[in-house]
Amino acid sequence: MIRIVVDAMGSDEYPVPDVVGAVAAAREYGVEIILVGDEAKIGPVLAAQNPGDLPIRIVHAPEMLTMEDKGMALVLKARRPNSQNSMAVGIDLVKNGEADAFVTAGNTGAASVTAYFRLGTIPGVDRPGLAPVFPTATGTCVVLDVGANPDCKPENLLQFAIMGSIYAAKVRGVESPKVGLLANGEEAGKGNDLVKHTYPLLAGSGLDFYGNIEGKELLGGKVDVAVTDGFTGNILLKSSEAVAKLLMDKIKEAILGGGLLAKLGGALIKPSLKGIKKLMDPSEHGAAPLLGINGLVFIGHGRSDALAIKNAVRVAKNAVEADVLASIQSAIEKSLK
C-alpha cells in the first residue's frame, strides 16, 4: 500500500483541513496516511472523522515552521538532525523509506529548504523547481519554476524542462510533451540574457521544443510544459490566480446587481459557471511537485481546504504509481552524457 505523509500543521487553518482531507483521501484512494504534527491537536480532529479501521496513524512533531521562519534561522531548523518540526519529521519519514511521498500546505520556502537539506537533489540537478499545473484552452500545462528559485542559470531551466516533461508524460498522460520557454516575444532572440542563453540549450536538448512563448501561448494550450525562473513564474502564478478570482467575482457581481432578468439568466448558466470555477480552482489540482528533490515532495497553498488536501494526496499517489522519481533520475543521468 502506498504511504503518504501529510503535514497536519501546514494549512492556514491547520489541522482541520489537513486532517479532514487526509481522511477523505484514505477512504477514496486506498492509501495509508501518516499525519505529522502536534498529536494533542490532531487527535481530536481525527477522532471526529470516525476513521474506523482506515490505515491512518499520527507521528508526533511538537514544533512547526511558519512564515516567520526565514534566513539562517530557517536553515538551521531545516537541516538540524534532531529537528522536531512537522516538515522535518515528515520528510525524514520519506528519507528513511517509511513513506513514499510528503504533502504539505505549509510555507513554500520552508518546505523547499527543508526538502533540499534533508533529501538533497537528484544527482545532476542543481536546483529543484516547483511545478504547478495551469489550466489551458486545450487541457493543462506544467509550469516551473514558480517560486523555489528567484535567480536561475540557463542550465537550471534545461533541467526544469527535462523534469517537467517527465512529469507531464508520467502523471498527466501527455505523449511527447511540447516545451515552451517563457519570454516577452515568440521570436528566437527575444528575452533577457537568461532566456537568450537558455534557448539554444533547449533547442539542442532532444526535447520537443516549441520555442519561445508568451502568456497567450501558455494559456492557449500551445505547450504542455513551460519553463521560467522562479521570480517570473511566481508573478505569473499569483497574477493568474488573481485574474481568475476577479473575473468570477465580477460575473457574480453583475448577475446579482443586474436586476431580475440578470438573476434569471444567472440561474440558467449556474451549472456552466460551476464548471468554469472548478477549472480555475487551485484546490482541484491539490499541490505542486517539487521536482529535482531526491524524493517525492508536494507543496500546496496555505489556504488549502480539505478538498485541496485530498487532491494533493491523489496527485502524490499518482506520482508514486508512475515511478516519477526514477524516471527523472534516469533522464537527468542521460542528459549528462
CATH number at residue 309: 3.40.718.10
Last residue within a domain, chosen from 204, 236, 268: 236
> Is 10 within a domain?
yes
203 and 305 within one domain: no
Asked which of 246-250, 303-307, 311-315 is least confident by mean pLDDT, the reply is 246-250
Report whether 298 contacts 290 (CB < 8 A): yes
Q: Within this chain, do residues 290 and 263 fall inside the same structural domain, yes or no?
A: no
pLDDT surpassing 70 at residue 275: no
Which pTM does this prediction carry? 0.90
* 148 has a pLDDT exceeding 80: yes
- In the DSSP assignment, the letter for residue 337 is -
Is residue 250 within 8 A of residue 266, CB to CB? The reply is: no
> Is the pLDDT score of 277 beyond 70?
no
Whether residues 214 and 260 fall in one domain: no
Query: Which residues lie below 8 Å from residue 264, measured CB to CB, with a gap of 6+?
Result: none
Of the pLDDT bands very low, low, confident and very high (cuts 50, 70, 90), residue 68 is confident
Segment 26-53 shows an average pLDDT of: 96
Of 177-191, 227-241, 258-272, 306-320, least confident by mean pLDDT is: 258-272
For the chain, how many structural domains are there in total?
3
Tell me if 70 is assigned to some domain: yes
Residues 231 and 212 in one domain: yes
- pLDDT surpassing 90 at residue 79: no
278 has pLDDT over 80: no
Shared domain check, 78 and 93: yes
Whether residue 257 is found in the same domain as residue 145: no
pLDDT band at 279, cuts 50/70/90? Answer: low
Which range marks the domain in which residue 138 is found? 133-236
In the structure, what pLDDT confidence band is assigned to residue 160 with cuts at 50, 70 and 90? very high
Could you tell me the CA-to-CA distances from 155 to 36, 78, 195, 204, 335 in Å, in that order?
Answer: 36, 26, 11, 12, 11
Please check whether residue 324 is in contact with residue 297, taking contact to mean a CB–CB distance below 8 angstroms.
no
pLDDT of residue 285 exceeding 90: no
What pLDDT band is residue 153 in, cutting at 50, 70 and 90? Answer: very high
Look at residue 62 and tell me if it is in a domain: yes
202 within a domain of the structure (yes/no): yes
> 273 falls in which pLDDT band (50, 70, 90)?
low
197-255 tens-digit pLDDT: 999 999 999 999 999 999 999 999 999 999 999 999 999 988 888 887 887 787 777 77
Determine, yes or no, domain membership for 161: yes
Q: Are residues 159 and 275 in the same domain?
A: no
The predicted structure's pLDDT at residue 324: 93
Question: pLDDT at position 64, please?
Answer: 83
32 pLDDT band (50/70/90 cuts)?
very high
84 and 181 part of one domain = no
The 8-class DSSP code of residue 96 comes to T
Q: Return the sign of the alpha-carbon dihedral for residues 147, 151, 156, 157.
A: positive
Distance CA 202, CA 217 (A): 17
- Determine what percent of the chain is predicted with pLDDT higher than 90: 64
8 inside domain: yes
Residues 146 and 198 in one domain: yes
Based on the domain organization, do 137 and 122 belong to the same domain?
no
Co-location of 115 and 173 in the same domain: no
Percent of the chain with pLDDT over 70: 93
Quote the pLDDT of residue 212.
95
Task: Judge whether residue 49 has pLDDT over 90.
Answer: yes
Domain membership flag for residue 241: no
Mean pLDDT confidence for 139-167: 93
**Residue 230: C-alpha distances to residues 85, 147, 150, 155 (Å):** 26, 4, 4, 14
| The predicted structure's pLDDT at residue 245 | 80
Which tops the pLDDT comparison, 290 or 242? 290
Going by C-beta distance under 8 Å and a sequence separation of 6 or more, which residues neighbour residue 126? 153, 155, 156, 159
Do residues 175 and 209 share a domain?
Answer: yes
Q: What is the pLDDT of residue 89?
A: 96
Q: What does the pLDDT average to over 75-99? A: 91
Instruction: Flag whether 27 is in a domain.
Output: yes
Residue 183 pLDDT grade (very low, low, confident, very high; cuts 50, 70, 90):
very high
